[in-house]
Amino acid sequence: MSLSIEAVERIAKLARLELGAGEAAATQEKLNGIFGLIERMQAVDTTDVEPLYHPQDVAQRLREDKVSESDRREAFQAAAPQAEAGLYLVPKVIE
């Protein structure tokens, strides 16, 4: 597939881009290069290729899910200006 200058200018107009005459030709060249690459990639037979979930065959090391710190909520709330029923009280900022 290759684009004509008219198609590039129409796409630029739809995208609200302002292209000069020289820019339209350069953009046409770049877009045709991209379409050529896509055509070459689509021509490759991938029927027996299994999709990759990750490019590298690695396993993530996970740590054991266990509590490692003590509950210090009471100490933190004791230092707060205002706390009630386990919640921090803050001034109302939205009416």
Determine, yes or no, domain membership for 32: yes
Range of the domain at 21: 5-42
How many domains does one find in the chain?
1
Predicted confidence (pLDDT) per residue in 31-61, tens digit: 999 999 999 999 999 999 888 877 787 888 8
Determine, yes or no, domain membership for 25: yes
Determine, yes or no, domain membership for 84: no
Determine, yes or no, domain membership for 52: no
CATH classification at residue 35: 1.10.20
Cβ–Cβ < 8 Å for 8, 27: yes
For 57, the 3-state DSSP assignment is: coil
pLDDT band at 1 (very low <50, low <70, confident <90, very high): confident
Determine, yes or no, domain membership for 23: yes
The pLDDT of residue 36 is 94
The pLDDT of residue 22 is 85
pLDDT band at 29 (very low <50, low <70, confident <90, very high): very high
pLDDT of 7 above 90: yes
CA distance 52 to 41: 17
Determine, yes or no, domain membership for 37: yes
